[in-house]
């Protein structure tokens, strides 16, 4: 029962089947109806309008806010043998006229246009002279003032409906929240349009949070297992970005920096390298990411705490757009909680705004401190309830021991109180552990009743206790930046034993060392890369990637425009040795088979020969 849509999907895109609601959306839009599509990043939004564009008569007009994104999409479509072009300010007048001529000759199946360009009278008149297949409004949340990427030009897009009432429209976004959705519907005149709302789960992303003790070493260990993979490392400050990138480069990683304080030319060059080449580590502030459509980002690592769950979801969402295994790794410690609370306290925002920011931070801290399934928490935050644990987060894979830490918490709070609420965690831990330091002696803290009452935990474990107490609001950090801790309203309940303190159990350092050693002995370090490429698969994998890199370079396009990792992985595992077998690989359509089939086969068959 081959439908024309499915046939196109096989022939042009080389995919076996539609995903999730794609088939229903394609059907709806091809039939001439409006719709609003909410799908997470990587959900497969593009196909929802690209297939109808090919099924319907005329040219599909795609509104997109970002020049880099348009170029990417047009490159990718061209590779598939689909006639596509874009109109934006990056074109010379001559190039622009050429695109317009192609449109008037009815050669184009898809035309990407920046909103301000589309709404110009010249473009509108041009569009009235040719048949239009559909309007696709990508990143539709840009119309919303409450969203994070408000674009005033998007407000004008309701004009499309008035000028072209017969042409079906599809609006797409990855922004989930209800107020934004309502605003899109209102502003774009989509009240009568059907809404397709997908789950916002990203099942291929593995979430994990580690306690920060030596971030540079921890990051290196994480990256060591992922050499050759593309990833993003987020830091809070520009300075830390520069330092981290330099440190990684020193350790032999292909690491680049990106932040708003750099020169524009350097920033663009770094971004281009990240997009086009395999295996670049981008160390960046959150200035990096908007419009980064790279499908094969294998990990997103946070060296600092993001501001909110929304931010965390969006930033980590840049990993694994291609659906292959990817990681979201957060390295987090007491210092982060302190820094974030200070930033909120010292910001210029009004009281109401600060209250909202604090609530957002608390939600994120709840996530970071969680002992249960992280995905459930993340989705619950966005209003989605899951009835089962995910099996693909650190807490599901290695359930932490959670323990009733009431007594330990009381010791910690008493120590804060007895020392006068004017010390940071380092000194407090020294007192608890009965250390003989200069500071302890000079303050006579060895005379206190709490001195040495916490020898049963090591310094790392005590750090974890303090972090949890601050995150849970039972302790507060000063706002001046000295890192001193004081009691709060809710400390009393803990001290009196009325408030339960449940926290994850952090293993002692000695025990962790023993475990690491045992794991090395078992040979636990092989195939730890995200895609689980085994050692004996490595030569063929590298050879396939080398062919892809060569072809990409010849045409000056990003590697993933030739084939996605998912397609190379399928080649690696299925090992096709003829053009016919190669055609069955996911992502290999007719045009790409003709263009690249032989090049990849030569590698695949060379491998079998020896």
Place of tokens 């974890």: 464
Tokens found for residue 301: 């690592």
Neighbours of 507 (CB within 10 A): 16
Q: Under 8 Å CB-to-CB from 199, ≥6 apart: which residues?
A: 40, 379, 384
Nearest approach in angstroms of CB 318 to ligand ADP is 10
321 and 294 in contact (C-beta within 8 Å)?
Answer: yes
259 and 285 in contact (C-beta within 8 Å)?
Answer: yes
Sign for the CA dihedral angle at 134, 138, 140, 143 comes to: negative
Residue 393 binding target from Zn ion, ligand ADP, none, CB below 5 to 8 Å by type = Zn ion
Q: Please list the residues that pair with 196 across neighbouring strands.
A: 37
Restricted to residues 310-329, the positions that interact with Zn ion (CB under 5 A) are none
Which CB, 8 or 256, lies closer to ligand ADP? 8
Q: Under 8 Å CB-to-CB from 110, ≥6 apart: which residues?
A: 50, 53, 59, 60, 62, 74, 77, 82, 83, 84, 85
Nearest approach in angstroms of CB 7 to ligand ADP is 14
Which CB, 56 or 564, lies closer to ligand ADP? 564
Residue 323 binding target from Zn ion, ligand ADP, none, CB below 5 to 8 Å by type = ligand ADP
Residue 561 binding target from Zn ion, ligand ADP, none, CB below 5 to 8 Å by type = none
Which CB, 124 or 363, lies closer to Zn ion? 363
Give the x-and-dash track for 93-132 against Zn ion (CB under 5 A).
----------------------------------------
Residue 45 binding target from Zn ion, ligand ADP, none, CB below 5 to 8 Å by type = ligand ADP
Nearest approach in angstroms of CB 323 to ligand ADP is 6
Which of left, alpha, beta for 282 (phi over 0: left; psi -120 to 50: alpha)?
beta
Sign for the CA dihedral angle at 379, 381, 387, 388 comes to: positive
Residue 47 binding target from ligand ADP, Zn ion, none, CB below 5 to 8 Å by type = ligand ADP
Nearest approach in angstroms of CB 46 to ligand ADP is 3
Q: Please list the residues that pair with 299 across neighbouring strands.
A: 231, 327
Residue 295 binding target from Zn ion, ligand ADP, none, CB below 5 to 8 Å by type = ligand ADP
Q: How many residues bind Zn ion (CB under 5 A)?
A: 6
- Measured between its terminal Cα atoms, the distance across the chain in Å is 42
Residue 216 binding target from Zn ion, ligand ADP, none, CB below 5 to 8 Å by type = none
Residue 412 binding target from ligand ADP, Zn ion, none, CB below 5 to 8 Å by type = none
Helix (H, G, I), strand (E, B) or coil at 570: helix
Nearest to 209 by CA among 131, 89, 316: 316
* Residue 390 in contact with Zn ion, rule: CB under 5 A: yes
Residue 168 binding target from ligand ADP, Zn ion, none, CB below 5 to 8 Å by type = none
The CA distance from 63 to 56, in Å, is 18
Q: Under 8 Å CB-to-CB from 217, ≥6 apart: which residues?
A: none
Nearest to 457 by CA among 515, 417, 405: 405
Nearest approach in angstroms of CB 173 to ligand ADP is 10
User: Residue from 133, 171, 300, 393 that binds Zn ion (CB under 5 A)?
Assistant: 393
* Residue 375 in contact with Zn ion, rule: CB under 5 A: yes
Nearest approach in angstroms of CB 172 to ligand ADP is 7
User: What is the crossing angle of helices 459-471 and 334-346, to 10°?
Assistant: 30
Segment near Zn ion (CB under 5 A); pick from 255-263, 297-305, 381-389, 595-603: 381-389
Label the pairing between strands 132-137 and 169-173: parallel
Residue 39 binding target from Zn ion, ligand ADP, none, CB below 5 to 8 Å by type = ligand ADP
Which CB, 249 or 380, lies closer to Zn ion? 380
Percent helix, strand, coil in the chain, to 5, is 50, 15, 40
Which CB, 19 or 528, lies closer to ligand ADP? 19
The burial class, CB within 10 Å (0-12 / 13-18 / 19+), for 372 is: middle
∠ CA 158-163-169 to the nearest 5 degrees?
A: 55
Residue 396 binding target from Zn ion, ligand ADP, none, CB below 5 to 8 Å by type = Zn ion
What string of H, E and C letters represents the secondary structure of 520-536? HHCCCCCCCCCCCCCHH
Which CB, 384 or 389, lies closer to Zn ion? 389
Residue 66 binding target from ligand ADP, Zn ion, none, CB below 5 to 8 Å by type = none
* Residue 202 in contact with Zn ion, rule: CB under 5 A: no
The CA distance from 200 to 36, in Å, is 15
**What is the phi/psi pair of residue 578, to 5°?**
-140, 165
Which CB, 244 or 395, lies closer to Zn ion? 395
Nearest approach in angstroms of CB 393 to Zn ion is 3
* Residue 396 in contact with Zn ion, rule: CB under 5 A: yes
Which CB, 427 or 504, lies closer to Zn ion? 504
Which CB, 19 or 239, lies closer to ligand ADP? 19
Which CB, 324 or 328, lies closer to Zn ion? 328
Which CB, 18 or 596, lies closer to ligand ADP? 18
Residues that bind ligand ADP (CB under 6 A): 15, 18-19, 22, 39, 41-47, 295, 321-323, 564, 586
* Residue 170 in contact with Zn ion, rule: CB under 5 A: no
User: What is the crossing angle of helices 93-104 and 121-128, to 10°?
Assistant: 20
**Residue at shortest CB range from ligand ADP:** 44
The CA distance from 230 to 280, in Å, is 5
Residue 43 binding target from Zn ion, ligand ADP, none, CB below 5 to 8 Å by type = ligand ADP
Binding residues for Zn ion, rule: CB under 5 A, are 373, 375, 389-390, 393, 396
């Amino acid at each position: 029962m081959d439908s024309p849509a499915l046939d196109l999907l096989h022939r042009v895109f080389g995919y076996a089947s539609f995903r999730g609601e794609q088939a229903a959306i394609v059907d709806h839009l091809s039939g001439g109806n409006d719709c609003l599509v909410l799908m997470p990043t990587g959900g497969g939004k593009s196909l929802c309008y690209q297939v109808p564009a090919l099924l319907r008569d005329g040219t599909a007009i795609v509104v997109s806010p970002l020049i880099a994104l348009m170029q990417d999409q047009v490159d990718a479509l061209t590779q598939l043998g689909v006639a596509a072009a874009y109109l934006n300010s990056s074109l010379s007048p001559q190039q622009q006229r050429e695109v317009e001529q192609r449109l008037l000759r009815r050669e184009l199946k898809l035309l990407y246009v920046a909103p301000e360009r589309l709404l110009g009278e010249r473009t509108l008149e041009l569009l009235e002279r040719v048949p239009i297949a559909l309007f696709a409004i990508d990143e539709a949340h840009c119309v919303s003032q409450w969203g994070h990427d408000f674009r005033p030009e998007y407000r004008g897009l309701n004009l499309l409906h008035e000028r072209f009432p017969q042409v079906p429209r599809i609006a797409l976004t990855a922004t989930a929240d209800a107020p934004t959705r309502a605003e899109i519907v209102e502003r774009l005149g989509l009240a009568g349009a059907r809404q397709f709302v997908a789950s916002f789960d990203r099942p291929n992303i593995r979430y994990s949070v580690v306690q920060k003790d030596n971030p540079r070493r921890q990051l290196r260990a994480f990256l060591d297992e992922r050499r050759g993979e593309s990833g993003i490392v987020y830091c809070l400050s520009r300075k830390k970005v520069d330092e981290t990138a330099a440190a990684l480069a020193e350790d032999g990683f292909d690491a680049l920096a990106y932040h708003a304080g750099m020169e524009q030319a350097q920033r663009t060059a770094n971004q281009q390298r990240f997009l086009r080449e395999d295996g670049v580590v981008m160390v960046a502030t959150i200035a990096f990411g908007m419009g980064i459509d790279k499908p094969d980002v294998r990990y997103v690592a946070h060296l600092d705490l993001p501001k909110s769950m929304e931010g965390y979801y969006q930033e980590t969402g840049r990993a694994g757009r291609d659906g292959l295994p990817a990681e979201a790794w957060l390295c987090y410690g007491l210092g982060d909680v302190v820094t974030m609370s200070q930033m909120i306290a010292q910001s210029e925002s009004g009281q109401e705004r600060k209250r909202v920011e604090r609530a957002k931070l608390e939600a994120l801290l709840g996530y970071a401190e969680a002992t249960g399934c992280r995905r459930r928490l993340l989705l619950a935050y966005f209003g989605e309830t899951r009835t089962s644990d995910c099996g693909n987060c650190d807490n599901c894979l290695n359930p932490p021991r959670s323990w009733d830490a009431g007594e330990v918490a009381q010791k910690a709070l008493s120590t804060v109180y007895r020392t006068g609420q004017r010390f940071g965690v380092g000194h407090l831990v020294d007192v608890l552990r009965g250390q003989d330091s200069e500071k302890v002696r000079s303050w006579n803290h060895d005379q206190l009743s709490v001195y040495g009452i916490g020898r049963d935990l090591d310094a790392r474990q005590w750090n974890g206790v303090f972090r949890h107490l601050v995150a849970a609001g039972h302790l507060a950090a000063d706002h001046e930046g000295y890192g001193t801790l004081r009691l709060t309203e809710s400390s009393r309940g803990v001290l009196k034993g009325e408030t339960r303190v449940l926290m994850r159990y952090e293993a002692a350092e000695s025990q962790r060392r023993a475990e690491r050693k045992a794991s090395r002995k078992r040979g636990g370090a092989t195939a730890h890369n995200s895609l689980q490429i085994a050692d004996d698969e490595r030569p063929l994998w590298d050879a396939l990637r080398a062919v892809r890199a060569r072809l990409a370079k010849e045409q000056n396009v990003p590697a993933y425009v030739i084939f996605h990792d998912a397609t190379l992985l399928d080649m690696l595992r299925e090992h096709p040795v003829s053009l016919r077998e190669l055609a069955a690989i996911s992502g290999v359509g007719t045009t790409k088979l003709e263009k690249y089939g032989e090049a990849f086969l030569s590698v695949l068959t060379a491998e079998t020969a020896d």
